[in-house]
Structure 1
Amino acid sequence: MKAEKQETIYKNEVLTRFELYNSLFQTLPFQKVKHTGALLPFFTAHCEREVENKVNPKDIIEHFFEQYGQYQLEMDEVDLLFRIIQYIERRVVLFDAVEDAEFVKTGRSEDAYLLGSLLKQAATNPELNEKIVEKFKNFSLRLVLTAHPTQFYPGDVLGIITDLTAALKNNDLDNIISLLEQLGKTPFIKTEKPTPVDEAVSLAWFLENVFYPVISTIQKRLDSNFENLETKDPIIQLGFWPGGDRDGNPNVSVQSTKEVSSLLRTILFRAYYRDFRVIKRRITFRGVEQFMDNLQDIFYENSFNPVNSPINVKPVILENLQAIKCVLSEKHGGLFEELVDDLILKVRNFGCFFASLDVRQDSSILRKSHKYVRAKTYPEAIDGFEELSEENKNAALQFKETEIELEKGLDPLVLDTFEVIRYIKKMQLAGGELAAHRFIISNCQQASDILQLMELFLVNGWKIDDLPIDFVPLFEMVDDLERAADVMRILYNHPLYKEHLKKRKGQTIMLGFSDSTKDGGYLMANWSIYKAKIELTAVSREYDVDLTFFDGRGGPPARGGGKTQAFYASMGEEVENNHIQLTIQGQTISSLYGSSDTAHYNIEQLMQAGLASTLNPRPGDTLNVNEKKLFEDMAQVSHEKFLKLRHHPLFLQYLEEKSPLKFLSEINISSRPVKRNGNSKLRLEDLRAISFVTSWSQLKQGIPGFYGVGSALESAEKSGEWDKIQALYKSSGMFKTIIDNCAMAMSKINFNITSHLAEDPVYGEFWKTMKDEYDRTKHYLLKISNSERLMDEFPVDRDSIAMRERIILPLVVIQHYSIQKLNELDENDPQYHVYSKLITRSIFGIVNAGRNLA
């Protein structure tokens, strides 16, 4: 399907239907909603016109109310603004539902199910069939759900979206009207900040309603296409961070881990129980009674009467299901055998744990924990251990097997480290090794960070010969990425760690994107990760280590999101790509995996990407020496440009005063603090990448997603390298994806909203510096892609972004107006709290509308 036809279908099936149902929503019998709905088109048109004319947001709002004399009091005006926000939030949900309902029709899924096309080819090509089977023996896809707050609809709203999507698919007008009425009355905002367990409950909705059926459907399809497809572990796996991710989140404790582990097991068994009840209703024959009774007890008790110390009953479940299947086959002609096969497949996939619970902690906490161990277990405490050379540190480690006594008054974070290490053993007893087998070390800087963690396990009851744990270093900052290969070389040469790896499936290394963007800018982050992958692959192949990259990507392009599958399809031969693992978070979850259609499509896309890089590699995806030099030179120019901005004395001050940064901590969508060292003065290094990126996106300036790219491309052109850059864009899928994702990020930018700052006596020149780089980058992105508009090659995504930006433009104006009002008020003024609340309420809709940036 050509781009023009795709765009036509999208406009007819999505944009037109959305306007139709939005008109219906405006006429619902809610006095306030109806009144707001009648005014909103005028308010939106007013904002669009004034923003286009670069009018100050404060003047935009005041000019609007001058036209409507009935709003005599300031509080009446504010009340309307609150209602506009509430209305627009629900428009975003309606648009989400319409897009999801028409996903298959809009053409974005024309290349969906490319995996299906490959399977058809394999059915008539024995050689290809054999290659795919062989590839699957050493291939896996793991999607790891994280609770990072880039979008969190309450569970009630997720349910409405799902039901509304189904009603829209069926053109069920009566049901659509009822659901729109329900949407109008359902609160979007939680009055209390969620706990880590609350976050787990929110994400569990996706596990139960989307991933459970979709993964099973895909696996069933693979099994039916390949008779010899036998793998030790499931091909498609799920990971989970809420309740396990401690990095910078003091609200996560071992109690959180226990509750989330229990929650995952409970919702899984309830899903099993629902399937089992269908089986029980159909299989009413003789010969299966005892097996049915056994399963009834297991499923019911684990669903509704969970115990404190559960055990892994997966083998027992499979044994009884297989017994039932045998009876059906031998005595009842195989009647309803497919129902049993379906549940067997699900139990094999999800076991008794549903999703592997990862534990993550910062290296500084682990070093502090190890200091306590040294004082307790070493015959002579080593003075100045932290100052030792890396070689001497590693030589001093003793790897004793014991279980230290935990004293009262121990630092809470150290105590939690020891307790969770001990509790991992219980999770493995309850769900098998895959239930919890990874400990991720954030801010990993040296080999001793991993070896010290290994020793922490050994002094907490684990044995070196029975240590089913993968120690996963997370390299994220530019400097850490540069020395990552050297760190791993030391580990691969360490006798104890070398023996440990022989017993494991290989080495997993996590590479984070968000903090590397904050640290070095968009282009340098992409280059640093790509270069690190090449170097880490080389050293792992040298030591014959099966390497898995776990990518911390998700959300907008500035956080590593965008067209992620294109990265995995274009890594080239120098990058290990047998296993694909990545984080999915916030808007990534709801946009790419929020419905069965989108989840099925995106999972298959990632699988196809993993297969394509091996079965059909493109020569241009492996960069030659000159191309790498070209890329590196551009990354360096971009890096210098970004650092100059980041080190500008007004940089952080601008972000604090002109964006809603300081209000992010007040929105109740995350248990995680906005910054590390929460009580200290804000420093850029303490600011979480997600807060950093979100603040710039609220400003509609999107600095982390583009800044420095234009200067890099301009420098290449001035150096006479433009033809080479153009050729690289055409030949390298990886480089093309980086540029295309940058264009996606820039499609969300609107400097007109803050254009009044050009004349600001404090920030005027600083603002112009950012605007100049935006203009420069846009010019070169259009030039390199030979386009007239950004994202010309992706018209559906472009139109989707444009509509979402139009929907939320009034929210952006209201937010900037409120920030300006706050600057005029004393913090003790009663109105200060009111305008602060307007800001926090506007954040939700702006973030939620950005779901298609994933």
Structure 2
Amino acid sequence: GDRDGNPFVTSDITMDVADELRMTLMKCYYHDVKGLQHKLTFKEAEEILKDLRDKLYSTMFNPAKSISYEEIINPLYAVRELVVNSYHNLYLKDLDNFIGKVNIFRIHFATLDIRQDHSIHKKVVEAVLKKEGIISESLDELGKDELIKILLHENLRVDARNFKGEIIKDTIRNISQLKTIQSKNGEEGCNRYIVSNSEDLFSVLFVYGLFRWCGWEDQNIPFDIIPLFETMKGMKSSELTIQELFDLPEYRSHIFQRNDKQTIMLGFSDGTKNGGYLKANWSIFKTKEKLTAICKKNSIKAIFFDGRGGPPARGGGKSHRFYAAQSQFIANHEIQLTIQGQTITSKYGTEEQFIHNCEQLLTAGLSRNFMGKENIISAEGRQLLDELASISFEKYNELKEHKMFMPYLENKSALTYYDKANIGSRPGKRGTKKKLELTDLRAISFVGSWSQLKQNVPGYFGVGTAIQALIKKGKLEELKKMFREISFFKALILNSMMSLFKCCFELTTYIREDEKYKDFWNILYEEYKLSKEMVLLISDFSMLMEEELISRESIKIREKIVLPLLVIQQYGLQKINQNTRNKRTYEKIVTRSLYGNINASRNSV
């Protein structure tokens, strides 16, 4: 469902995936019913189970055919009543186990989330209003109130076949077909629409309007429209955005239909790319507090869905530590987070791993309520965090604006090879521009490239400078106290330590001799050394990750294993930059090296 994260996802693929999920589930149900038939052989039950098995079989291979949840569960309850009343609970445990599966997976198996970028919805709305003659060229022709009125009240009907431009047609097709997906897989099959790069109330209203125009009734849009605030600008305006939405009676009515819950996503990945490590994480923390207060004021339950990646630079690190450190002013009715693809198996692949990691998240949510003063950040502490965030952002922003920033990534890292790896969920950038720009760059490839260089810049850059600046103001003891007493600050520093520990500047010391890039490399190296020195100073640690020796050794072993592959990658990049005769061969080597490096590092992208 994520067409923003994977440019190869189309409306056809979304429908195919929904059908495949349902049909695969029916095959599983079919085999379970068959197993029960072999055990429950008395006539009354046999007839009910045979009828159910035949219905399931007809839906296993034909996407046009479906079966309702009630058509599956009601016969099973009928058989259960027979078993309890007439056959001494024979094989009741097996039957209850199957009923439990049906109640969990129903007819959808897994829920699909739809995700698309705000800019795409803007293009689609513009195309629709242009076709209807409401505007001649641009949405800028309309005032804010006028556009809101059109999106909430104008009764239009759109058909994808009447539009040009594949992305516009596909977006309309997709929203129109969501009704079909829900009719086949139930509402649980697909009920959330995430809007990437949300910046104002139109990020949500464009989607709301498109649902209306694609045939959904105003009072029956069974979808949570979820704004994803992932830039500094988006987070800054999020408070106003959410309040403006709640002030609209039509949207408030929609929220009432959704059980008075508003799900909000905050993007750690793009936030860090945009604002640097400290600024992004502290901004997200404060944004959550503000949004919680707004939702509470409007009698709405705030649900935060965290777009967290693998490494600390994308919101990763220790999930338990992160959620246990949230303040009492942040809603914690539910914990929703994204899981990095290559760690799903290692975290949830077995029953024991699944239980352990779910317990970690559950206890993190509970422990926050028992931490008392540890999770309360004083006014002085908040002021210090504001200063740290501001100084680190200035340092990081200075780096971003350096004339060698993008050329360094393009020529000295594996950045441009993410596209060549042809992994749809790991695109190099948004859009099709030939020139590589930071704004279009996907956080996955951005953070991953620094990780492949073993420089991990987004996970610490600016931290050392910020801490040093406050120490020069005589704030060392306050910083040490914050590390000891404020669990959120400690979590930030410990995660940054992980990024620093994974650095290996020795891998790229040859760049010191490169006339073009040596100064830029030295900027990175100096900040790395300073950050390492400063985090050790305020933590009173003698080495990085001193409190996490098992994780430290695990990282050490993996980094040692992957180092030869990284050396090969750097050698390949050097040869490519020299325009050697075997350039294509070296490009293949660099591309292939990505796979091993990403998987070995576990949380590198």
TM over 0.5: yes
Corresponding position: 1:335 with 2:86 = no
Distance in structure 2 (CA, Å) of the matches to 1:551 and 1:398:
29
Asked if structure 2 preserves the Cα contact closer than 8 Å seen for 1:591 and 1:852, the reply is no
Q: Which residue of 1 aligns with 2:509?
A: 755
The question of whether the paired residues in 1 share the 8 Å contact of 2:447 and 2:604 is answered with no
2:500 aligned with 1:746: yes
CA, structure 1 residues 274+638, in 2 after alignment: closer, same or farther (shift >3 Å)?
farther
What is the DSSP-based 3-state SS (H/G/I as helix, E as strand, rest coil) of the residue aligned with 2:225?
Answer: strand
Partner residue, 2:36: 279
2:25 pairs, out of 232, 257, 268, with 268
SS, match of residue 309 in structure 2: coil
CA distance in 2 between counterparts of 1:248 and 1:389 reads 32
Instruction: State the match for 1:817 in structure 2.
Output: 571
Q: 1:574 aligns with which of 320, 329, 340?
A: 329
Q: Is the 8 A contact 2:158 2:213 kept in 1?
A: yes
String of CA shifts for 1:392-443, please: whole Å, max 9, x gaps. Answer: 4324545234533444452211111111111111111112212111111111
Query: 1:580·1:610 contact (CA, 8 Å) conserved in 2?
Result: yes
**Equivalent residue for 1:346?**
101
Determine which of 289, 293, 301 is the counterpart of 1:538: 293
Among candidates 58, 61, 64, match of residue 308 of structure 1: 64
1:592 pairs, out of 347, 352, 364, with 347
- Aligned-partner Cα distance in 1 for 2:364–2:86: 44
Among 455, 458, 461, the alignment partner of 2:209 is: 455
Secondary structure, in 3 states, of the residue corresponding to 2:153? coil
- In 1, Cα distance between equivalents of 2:62 and 2:372: 51
Cα contact 2:7–2:424 (8 A) shared by 1: no
Gap regions ≥5 residues in structure 1: 1-243
Displacement of 1:485 in angstroms is: 0.6
Does the CA contact (< 8 Å) of 2:332 and 2:365 recur in 1? yes
1:335 CA drift (Å): 2.5
Mapped to 2, the partners of 1:447 and 1:382 lie a distance apart of: 23
Distance 2:111 2:364 in 1: 23
Is contact 1:800–1:852 with CA below 8 Å preserved after alignment? Answer: no
Gap change, CA 1:369 and 1:668, over 3 Å in 2: closer
**Whole-Å separation in 2 of the counterparts to 1:297 and 1:403:** 40
Which residue of 2 is the match for residue 32 of structure 1? none
Number of equivalent positions: 604
Q: What does the per-residue CA deviation read over 1:154-202, in whole Å, with 9 as the maximum and x for residues that have no partner?
A: xxxxxxxxxxxxxxxxxxxxxxxxxxxxxxxxxxxxxxxxxxxxxxxxx
Q: What is residue 832 of structure 1 aligned with on the other side?
A: 583
Matched, 1:421 2:175: yes
Which digits, 9 at most, give the CA deviation of each residue in 1:39-94, with x for residues without a partner?
xxxxxxxxxxxxxxxxxxxxxxxxxxxxxxxxxxxxxxxxxxxxxxxxxxxxxxxx
- The answer to which of 592-601 and 383-392 deviates more is 383-392
Structure 1 counterpart SS, 2:338:
strand
Partner of 1:375: 130
Q: For residues 272-671 of structure 1, what are the structure 2 equivalents within 5 Å? A: 272-303=29-60, 305-311=61-67, 313-377=68-132, 380-381=134-135, 385-386=139-140, 388-408=142-162, 410-505=164-259, 506-614=261-369, 616-670=370-424
Q: Percentage identity across aligned positions?
A: 39
Q: Which moved more, 1:668-677 or 1:804-813?
A: 668-677
Structure 2 CA distance, aligned partners of 1:405 and 1:843? 42
**1:288 to partner: Cα distance:** 1.0
SS in 2 for 1:845: helix
Q: Which amino acid aligns with 1:475?
A: F
Moved more, 430-439 or 403-412: 403-412
Q: Partner residue of 2:556?
A: 802
Q: Find the aligned partners of 1:650 and 1:555 in 2 and give their Cα distance.
A: 27
Structure 1 residues 590 and 714, CA gap change in structure 2 (3 angstroms) = farther
Task: Map residues 30-109 of structure 1 onto 2, 5 A cutoff.
Answer: none
Which amino acid in the other structure matches residue 590 of structure 1?
A: T
Offset at 1:271?
Answer: 2.9
Relative to the length of structure 1, the TM-score reads 0.68
CA distance, structure 1, for counterparts of residue 264 and residue 543 of structure 2: 38
For residues 188-267 of structure 1, what are the structure 2 equivalents within 5 Å?
Answer: 244-247=1-4, 249-267=6-24
SS, match of residue 287 in structure 1? helix
Residues in 1 aligned to 2:349 and 2:218: alpha-carbon distance in whole angstroms:
42
1:270 CA drift (Å): 2.7
Higher relative contact order (CA 8 A, sep 6+): 1
Amino acid at match of 2:563: L
- Alpha-carbon shift at residue 566 of structure 1 (Å): 1.9
Mean Cα deviation higher: 260-269 or 544-553: 260-269
2:602 corresponds in structure 1 to 851
Summarize deviations over 1:352-385 as a string: whole Å, max 9, x none: 112211111111111111123323457x447753
Q: TM-score, normalised by structure 2?
A: 0.95
Residue 722 of structure 1 pairs with residue 473 of structure 2: no
Q: Look up the equivalent residue of 2:297 and give its one-letter code.
A: E
1:781 counterpart residue number: 535
Q: Does residue 842 in structure 1 map to residue 597 in structure 2?
A: no
**Which deviations, in whole Å up to 9, do the C-alpha atoms of 1:98-117 show, x marking residues without a partner?**
xxxxxxxxxxxxxxxxxxxx
Conserved 8 A contact 2:160-2:173: no
Cα drift, residue 568 of structure 1: 1.8
Distance 1:390 1:736, change over 3 A: farther
| 1:814-851 CA-partner distances (Å, limit 9, x unpaired) | 1111111222234xx3x111111111121111111011
Contact 1:376 1:404 in 2 (8 A): no
Determine the structure 2 residue equivalent to 1:8.
Answer: none
Compared CA separation, residues 793 and 282, structure 1 to 2 (3 A) = farther
Structure 1 position 536, deviation (Å): 0.6
Quick one: which of 442, 462, 485 aligns to 1:708? 462
Aligned letter for 1:729? F
- Taking a change above 3 Å as real, the CA distance of residues 597 and 252 of structure 1, as seen in their structure-2 partners, is same
Amino acid at match of 1:291: I
Contact 1:557 1:853 in 2 (8 A): no
Residue-by-residue CA offset, 1:756-791 (whole Å, 9 max, x unaligned): 222322211211111111111111222233222211
Shift of 1:387: 5.3
What's the offset of the Cα at 1:386?
A: 2.3
Equivalent residue, structure 2, for 1:27: none
Q: Which amino acid aligns with 1:846?
A: N
1:652-704 superposed Cα distances (whole Å, 9 cap, x missing partner):
11111111112221113336531122242111111111010111111010101
Deviation >6 Å, runs of 4+: none
Match of residue 445, structure 2, among 669, 684, 691: 691
